[in-house]
């Protein structure tokens, strides 16, 4: 069975050309239980602003100032940083040959990844029609993302995993109702 990918990012802006602080991705079967593989990436911040002119927004900086110290360190700390290109290349390989890509809202995380790949001249690893939006699924099924809790909010890979597990709970409801085949 081909797996899907859930992507979550933390950034310094809400535009497609944002500076990306961290990228979390998990592969999973929406009709299954649990995640198969996790990927956590930390692109260099200065390279994104100095070389690629990616965007930082003052409102987003202020928003980060109201987050937990753990979340701020996870997102903005220097540990484990790799070049922007290397991170996007690794994400490309992780997403390649997956059935669909998900994010919590179709208008940001996947759009920002596509913008970054275009900027770096890397092919987008999914067809446009295979982007999936968790918010629509959650609204239709009545499943809430906030149920189940987080370990640390705004940790990209933990958020991606939590979102994937919530998609699985939503699919379980649809399967139980006979609306989706197992």
pLDDT, tens digit, 9 for 90 and up, residues 53-82: 999 999 999 999 999 898 899 999 999 999
Average pLDDT over the chain, rounded to whole?
Answer: 94
For the stretch 8-44, pLDDT in tens is 999 999 999 999 999 999 999 999 999 999 999 999 9
What CA–CA distance (Å, rounded) separates 111 from 11?
A: 13
Residue 153 has pLDDT above 80, yes or no: no
Q: Where are the domains of the chain?
A: 4-176
Residue 43 CA neighbour count, 13 Å, CB half? 30
**pLDDT score of 149:** 62
**Between 58-65 and 69-76, two packed helices, what is the crossing angle to 10 degrees?**
130
**pLDDT score of 71:** 86
Cβ atoms of 30 and 171 within 8 Å: the answer is yes
**CATH code, 4-176:** 3.30.420.10
Confidence class for position 151, pLDDT limits 50, 70, 90:
low
3-state secondary structure of 16: coil
Residue 89: Cβ-neighbour burial (10 angstroms; 0-12, 13-18, 19+): middle
What CA–CA distance (Å, rounded) separates 150 from 142?
A: 19
User: Looking at residue 130, what DSSP letter applies?
Assistant: G
For the stretch 81-120, pLDDT in tens is 999 999 999 999 999 999 999 999 989 999 999 999 999 9
pTM: 0.95
Residue 23: Cβ-neighbour burial (10 angstroms; 0-12, 13-18, 19+): buried
Chain position carrying tokens 């484990």: 80
């Amino acid at each position: 069975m081909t797996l899907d990918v859930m992507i979550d990012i933390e950034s310094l802006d809400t535009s497609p050309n944002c500076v990306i602080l961290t990228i979390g991705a998990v592969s999973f079967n929406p009709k299954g239980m649990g995640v198969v593989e996790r990927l956590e990436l930390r692109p260099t911040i200065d390279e994104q602003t100095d070389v690629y002119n990616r965007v930082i927004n003052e409102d987003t900086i202020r928003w980060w100032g109201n987050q937990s110290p753990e979340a701020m360190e996870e997102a903005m700390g220097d540990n484990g940083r790799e070049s922007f290109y290397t991170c996007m290349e690794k994400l490309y390989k992780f997403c390649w040959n997956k059935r669909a890509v998900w994010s919590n809202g179709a208008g940001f995380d996947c759009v920002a990844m596509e913008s970054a790949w275009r900027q770096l001249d890397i092919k987008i690893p999914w067809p446009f029609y295979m982007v999936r939006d968790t918010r629509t699924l959650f609204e239709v099924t009545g499943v809430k993302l906030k149920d189940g809790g987080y370990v640390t909010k705004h940790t990209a890979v933990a958020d991606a995993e939590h979102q994937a597990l919530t998609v699985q709970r939503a699919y379980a409801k649809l399967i139980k109702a006979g609306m989706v085949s197992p």
